[in-house]
Structure 1
Amino acid sequence: MARYGRVDLLMIDELGYMELDRRGAELLFQVLTEREENNSIAIASNESFSGWTKTFTDPRLCAAIVDRLTFNGTIIETGTDSYRLAHTRQQRSNSL
């Protein structure tokens, strides 16, 4: 736990891609709490906050995690288009 609390920036990619069991969600909550107001966290997710209930199956724990992440945070929405899909389509059209 201390290891994740010490780094300047903790980056978590694809949050919401997989369901976390209760223990995994609790551990993530502990990491976020440890870092709260001390160190930065960057999260990338293709899922909106309302969809995180599929990842964090306990609604109260899900709400607590979202609360930790959004308090004094900056949310950057990049849109719903996939960069990878657009890149692949562009490559295919260039090769034709």
Structure 2
Amino acid sequence: MRASETFSSSKTGAELLFDVIATAYERNSLIVTTNLPFENWTEVLGSERLTGAALDRLTHRCHILETKGESYRLQDAKRRRRRSD
């Protein structure tokens, strides 16, 4: 899918994200990565209705992989700092 074929340039980022999700819904695979919990998506997307519709499509027939723990980048930075001391 080409963005120029699907999206209007007058849409907001939230609407464009929804268009990507809706276009892929039940037709294509879609991988989404985020460090933002679902309950905070409305703060970013700005609309409860748009967020609900996007999450409804994203979470239908999906696999959610949730990782917890300390950041690998933080661990690496600490390790490098110890080596330099």
Q: Is the structural similarity TM-score above 0.5?
A: yes
Helix, strand or coil at the partner of 1:41: coil
Q: CA deviation at 1:80?
A: 4.7
Task: Please identify which structure carries the higher helix content.
Answer: 2
Mapped pair 1:52 → 2:41: yes
Unaligned runs of 5+ in 1: 5-21
CA distance in 1, matches of 2:20, 2:34: 18
Q: Give the TM-score of the pair, scaled to structure 2.
A: 0.78
Match of 2:24 in 1: 35
Aligned length: 78
* CA-based RMSD: 1.7
Runs of 4+ in 1 over 6 A off after TM superposition: none
Pairing partner for 1:62 from 33, 51, 72: 51
SS at match of 2:45: coil
Question: What is the rounded CA distance, in whole Å, between the counterparts of 1:64 and 1:79 in structure 2?
Answer: 26
Larger RCO: 1 or 2 (CA < 8 Å, sep 6+): 1
More strand by share: 1
Bigger Rg over Cα: 2
CA distance in 1, matches of 2:52, 2:70: 26
Determine helix, strand or coil for the equivalent of 1:42. Answer: coil
Q: Which of residues 9, 12, 15 in structure 2 aligns to 1:26? A: 15
TM-score by length of 1: 0.70
Counterpart of 2:2 in structure 1 is: 3
